[in-house]
Structure 1
Amino acid sequence: MSTRYVRNMRRTGAAALMVATLTLSLSACGGDDGEGATGKAPSSSSAPSKAEKGPQDDGETLPDTSKVLVTVKGEKGIDMVVHVAKRDEGGFLTLTGEFKNTSGSRVVTPVQWSGTEEAVARTGASLAAMTLVDSQAKKRYYVLRDTDNRPLTTTSYDSGIDAGKSLPFFAQFPAPPQTSTKVDIQFPGFTTATIEIS
């Protein structure tokens, strides 16, 4: 009986030691989380610094309106203004610009802008119908797609543009060869225009 009692005491002691160890570990983890929370406070305090950098980030994503590569008159008073056509690392060409409503009333964005491909139709409103033509290399480039077949361009924009307002856009394409310095941009509702690649 005494041996059984000792065994039970040893088991109870081992269990108590294990519980104490777990409690200490959890409190230590809680302390780390507390420090993490205070660590998050600086990160949240660094969030305002990111927020301060927000306009700079927005400045990178929004068109650099200081340059105009081309302005193309479209239907119903919509102008397509291309500000930048820049080669990116990895062999991409990114266009940024804006659609300006120069009419005196709201203009509904045409469904033709999204293109006719059923695969990208589920994306909703997009600029998947935009293409670039490299007449020198005799190639046509379409808006790139991601692994889910979504077009790498402005999507889910408003169904219309109010009078005097603009819709900023971007569209990413495979980059033409370095020997090609100009491409023609084609988009439904607009005449073909030539833009220079930077």
Structure 2
Amino acid sequence: MTVTITQLQREGKMTTLSLTISNEDGPSWRIGNDLGKGPTDYTVGGLSLVDAGNAKRYRPGRTGHFACLCSTTSGSVVIDEGESLPFYATFAAPPPDVTKVHVEVPGFGIMSDVPIA
């Protein structure tokens, strides 16, 4: 499996992370809650942006009903061999002077110094 960040875009007070997960040559992966924040979170809500300079971690936003402002992984979200799927998560924007953050993806690790467009 490979994670590719396709965009990290600031728009006003929000920042949206777009990424693609690709399965080049492995077995099928039923994502389920693997990218969530807990055992009942079937979303990519476990993703985070880390602003190392200000020692702050950003998690995807949630609605008043606790629904994640991000892609769902509920049901039959499976990445088969040779396939890629897009995902997104929306966060509160870091301060305007922050131009890069680290992106943490559960099970994949941290991608450092990702520029915010």
Task: Give TM-score, length-normalised by structure 1.
Answer: 0.54
Report the counterpart of residue 171 of structure 1 in structure 2. 89
State the 1:136 CA deviation.
1.0
Q: Judging by fraction of residues, say which structure has more helix.
A: 1
1:133 and 1:190 map into 2 onto residues whose CA distance is: 15
3-state secondary structure, aligned to 2:5: strand
Greater strand proportion: 2
Aligned partner (choices 64, 80, 85) of residue 162 of structure 1: 80
CA contact 1:126–1:157 (8 Å) conserved in 2: no
Q: For the aligned residues, what is the CA RMSD?
A: 1.7
Matches within 5 A, 1:21-170: 78-89=1-12, 91-109=13-31, 111-116=33-38, 121=40, 125-155=42-72, 156=74, 158-170=76-88
Aligned-partner Cα distance in 1 for 2:19–2:34: 18
Q: Cα 1:185–1:157, aligned 2, differ >3 Å: closer, same or farther? A: farther
Deviations 1:92-134 (A, max 9, x none): 0001121111124322225231112x7xx3xx52101111100
Q: Higher RCO, 1 or 2 (CA under 8 Å, sep at least 6)? A: 2
The secondary structure found in structure 2 opposite 1:86 is strand
The runs of 5 or more residues in structure 1 that have no matched partner are 1-77
1: CA distance, partners of 2:106 / 2:4: 14
- For structure 2, which runs of at least 5 residues remain unmatched after alignment? none
The amino acid of 1:185's aligned partner reads: V
Q: Which whole-Å CA distance do the structure 2 matches of 1:134 and 1:148 have between them?
A: 27
The ranges of structure 1 where at least 4 consecutive aligned residues each deviate by more than 4 angstroms after the TM superposition are none
- 2:32, 2:42 within 8 Å by CA — same for their partners in 1? no
Quote the residue 1:189 is aligned against.
107
Count of residues paired in the alignment: 115
Q: Could you tell me whether the CA contact under 8 Å between 1:86 and 1:93 is conserved in 2? A: yes
TM-score (norm 2): 0.89
User: For the residues of structure 2 that align with 1:131 and 1:180, how far apart are their CA atoms?
Assistant: 15
